Amino acid sequence: METNVETQMRLEKAMKYIYIILLALLVASCSSSRRAVKAPMIGGLTGEAYVEKVIEQTPAWQSLSGKVALDLSLGDGKHAGVNATLRLKRGESIQLSVAPFLGIEVARLEISPDGLLALDRLNKRYVQVSFEEINRWARTDLSFAVLQSLFFNELFVPGKPQVDLSDANRFHLSLDEGRAMLEAKGGHQLTYRFFTSTGEGWLQESRIGVSGTPYALQWKYDAFRKIEQRFFPEKMRLSIEGASKPLTLAMDFSRLNVGGDWKARTEIPAKYTRVSIEELVKMLQNE
């Protein structure tokens, strides 16, 4: 039987894991040097017609929930894993809740239009940072809409919460190693590139880039299955490049359900202590 000390150690590892995921989201960015060319014929469609096909197939769900197995690789042979519950409510929040024992939550990561919040219920502390602070700290232009689209397996364009058919002309289309590459127009600091299967038009990979930096975010999708008349990936893989150590987060989903209702925003208990991003980085470096 597991001792109290062993249980505490497992929970502390789970909290460190949640914090590293938070930092991974903060530094999400990428670059690429390819140039789009004249739109080719793809799947019998050309230009905007193909882009419209991709947009029409993406889910327009208002909420999604399910279980997710998270596996983090730090690039030095070390792995950390934890099981969590994922809840997405369009326009409101993305929540990852870790409750390993008897359904008692020990940690929560919440992304909302206001920013990011990580709760450490074991140590009664939290990290809360606005997107304005994130973008100043990471020198990027991240938003809730972008992260929401990444989790929902959707295309996105700068400054818009959700893509629709009227946005088809906002993408350059080209072929890239057997896949169709869609590049969003109108980005400033960031570039947005999407890679889709030429046959089905499924979004298989999203890349976000900041020109002139070594940082890269690669968000891959796999294991598509039909849910509520739409094909959705049960596997996602997030890779951060450009840091001193490569970081990869694998997400394997199960028991996915469309719809449902839950409290979208988390209240911070009065007795919790706030920790800054800088303090968080120092804590992780010392562990």
- 242 to 12, 17, 76, 255: CA distances (angstroms): 27, 20, 15, 34
Range 4-286 classified under CATH 2.50.20.10: yes
pLDDT at 76 > cutoff 50: yes
Q: What is the per-residue pLDDT across 157-177, written as a single tens digit (0 to 9) for each?
A: 878 888 999 999 899 888 888
Q: How confident is the model at residue 139, as a pLDDT?
A: 61
Average pLDDT over residues 177-184: 88
Q: What is the per-residue pLDDT across 227-269, written as a single tens digit (0 to 9) for each?
A: 988 999 999 999 877 767 777 889 999 999 999 888 999 999 9
Q: Tokens standing for 178? A: 């057997």
Q: How confident is the model at residue 46, as a pLDDT?
A: 76
Mean pLDDT of the residues in the chain:
81
pLDDT at 3 > cutoff 90: no
CB 118 within 8 A of CB 107: yes
CA atoms within 13 A on the CB side of 41: 1
- Provide the 8-state DSSP code for 138: H
Q: Report the DSSP beta bridge partners of residue 129.
A: 116
CB 106 within 8 A of CB 14: yes
Question: Which of 270, 274, 277, 267 lies closest to 112 in space, CA to CA?
Answer: 267
